[in-house]
Amino acid sequence: MRKSKNIFSGHESFSLREGWMVKGIRAILNNGKKIFRGDELINTIDELGIGANMVKSLKYWLEVYDIVDENMELNSWVSEIKKYDEYLQQKITLWFIHYLSLNPLKNRRAIIWDVISYKNENLPFEKDHMIDVINSETGKKYSKKTIVTSLGVYIKTYIDKREKNENFPENNLISPFSKLEYLKKNKASEEYYFRSIQYKEINSYFGYLVLKSFCEKVKMDKMEKVEAYNKFKVIIKMDSYNFEMLLKEMENNDLVSIDRVAGLNNINLISKLENKDIIKKMYEEV
> Is 80 exceeded by the pLDDT of residue 163?
no
Domain boundaries, given as residue ranges, for the chain: 5-194, 199-285
Would you state the pLDDT for residue 57? Answer: 95
Least confident of 5-14, 45-54, 218-227, 256-265: 256-265
How is domain 199-285 classified at the architecture level of CATH?
Orthogonal Bundle (1.10)
| Averaged pLDDT for residues 51-73 | 93
163 vs 63 pLDDT, higher one: 63
Least confident of 121-135, 189-203, 266-280: 121-135
- Contact in structure between 108 and 8 (CB atoms under 8 Å): no
